[in-house]
């Protein structure tokens, strides 16, 4: 196994631009079921009926890694996970066998310039998302790529991370969502290639181009449902736990609305806030993490992860009670 790993080509790059296990090397590694559950825990976890719902939030969603850390420290492996956007990526990779330390390592090299594909350009990338969106060169590039029917580098990266894994083959019941711009409807993924589902759910409006699957044009599921509790119940959950990482909407002075892109970005903020707060009452347990970082600020990964872990541990008895009640 060690020799095989050494032979892996160095140019294989994951979402974060770091070497990752290819589909071939992952096939030779211990299965996700054994890595997550061990031989004595799989039956118990499969029969459990509680769910972990991971909402989107960009860099704020990295707190979910800390949540997973705290749960594993207490031998709590969610039998069901649903998510959207960042929550879908982390939940899907966890279900595929990536442990929190691996997720944190990947996250340390994330930035919106990398995700949006600007890392190979000479465009100076500003610190603030709104300034970034207002770059004329970026706007033209995004519109051009939306109209192209060519290879998708993000899909390729996700495929390298999880191979040809099917959602229905995961040891954890998993589901994520996206929004089809063609029909205007929420699309739930509970089967099929995992990499395609994650690619669709992560397409944040005006930053990452939509995913094209057949006649669908798919974007971030958080636009319609940033907290997919109902999907978790459809997958069999009787009790649902939600770590809340969304930022409550604050007033924005009218003088700041000095461009169309700022107005569009604000509109997305309003929609995401509504699609989160309207769903939280559907959960059985919500813990408020509220990371103090912006959506696209990936410079404080460790702090955000530690916060998620700490808040989860502070509420671990309530979580254990929920697990017991789920049966």
User: What is the separation, in whole angstroms, between the first and last Cα of the chain?
Assistant: 39
Q: What residue has token string 């972990």?
A: 52
Cα 28 to Cα 22: distance, rounded to the nearest angstrom: 10
Spatial neighbors of 275 by CB under 8 A, at least 6 apart, are: 222, 223, 224, 225, 226, 227
List the structure tokens of 59.
């860099």
Cα 307 to Cα 324: distance, rounded to the nearest angstrom: 25
What is the b/e burial string over 224-260, where b = at least 16 CB atoms within 10 angstroms of the residue's CB? bbbbbbbbbbebebbbbbbbbbbbeeeeeeeeeeeee
φ, ψ dihedrals at 217, nearest 5°: -125, 100
Cα 211 to Cα 49: distance, rounded to the nearest angstrom: 32
Q: Are 326 and 237 in contact (CB under 8 A)?
A: yes
CA nearest 142: which of 217, 199, 209, 204?
209
Give me the catalytic one of 107, 201, 220, 244. 220
Spatial neighbors of 316 by CB under 8 A, at least 6 apart, are: 70, 74
List the structure tokens of 109.
């090299």
Count of CB atoms within 10 A of residue 64's CB? 31
Give me the catalytic one of 85, 107, 157, 201. 85
Spatial neighbors of 138 by CB under 8 A, at least 6 apart, are: 116, 118, 123, 132
Count of CB atoms within 10 A of residue 72's CB? 14
85 has catalytic annotation: yes
CA nearest 107: which of 238, 192, 18?
18
CA nearest 79: which of 94, 58, 59, 57?
94
3 has catalytic annotation: no
Q: Provide the annotated active-site residues.
A: 85, 220
């Amino acid at each position: 196994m060690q020799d095989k790993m050494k032979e892996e080509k160095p140019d294989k790059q994951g979402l974060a631009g770091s070497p990752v296990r290819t589909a071939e090397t992952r096939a030779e590694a211990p299965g996700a079921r054994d890595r997550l559950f061990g031989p004595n825990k799989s039956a118990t976890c499969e029969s459990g009926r509680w769910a972990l719902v991971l909402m989107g939030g960009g860099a704020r969603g990295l707190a979910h890694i800390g949540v997973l850390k705290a749960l594993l420290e207490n031998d709590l492996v969610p039998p069901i996970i649903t998510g959207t956007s960042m929550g879908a990526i982390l939940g899907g990779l966890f279900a595929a066998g990536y442990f929190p330390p691996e997720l944190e390592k990947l996250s340390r090299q994330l930035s919106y310039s990398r995700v949006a594909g600007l890392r190979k350009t000479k465009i100076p990338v500003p610190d603030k998302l709104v300034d970034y969106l207002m770059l004329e060169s970026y706007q033209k590039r995004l519109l051009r790529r939306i109209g192209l029917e060519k290879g998708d580098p993000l899909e390729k990266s996700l495929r390298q991370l999880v191979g040809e894994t099917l959602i229905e083959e995961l040891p954890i019941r998993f589901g994520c969502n996206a929004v089809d711009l063609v029909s205007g409807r929420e699309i739930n993924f509970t089967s099929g290639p995992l990499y395609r589902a994650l690619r669709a759910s992560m397409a944040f409006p005006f930053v990452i181009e939509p995913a094209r699957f057949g006649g669908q044009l798919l974007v971030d599921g958080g636009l319609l449902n940033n907290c997919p509790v109902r999907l978790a119940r459809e997958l069999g959950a009787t009790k649902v736990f939600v770590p809340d990482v969304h930022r409550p909407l604050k007033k924005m002075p009218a003088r700041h609305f000095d461009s169309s892109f700022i107005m569009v970005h604000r509109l997305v903020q309003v929609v995401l806030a509504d699609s989160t707060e309207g769903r939280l009452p559907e959960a059985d347990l919500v813990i408020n993490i509220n990371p103090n970082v912006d959506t696209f600020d990936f410079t404080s990964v460790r702090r955000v992860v530690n916060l998620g872990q700490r808040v989860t541990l502070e509420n671990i008895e309530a979580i254990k009670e929920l697990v017991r009640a789920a049966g």
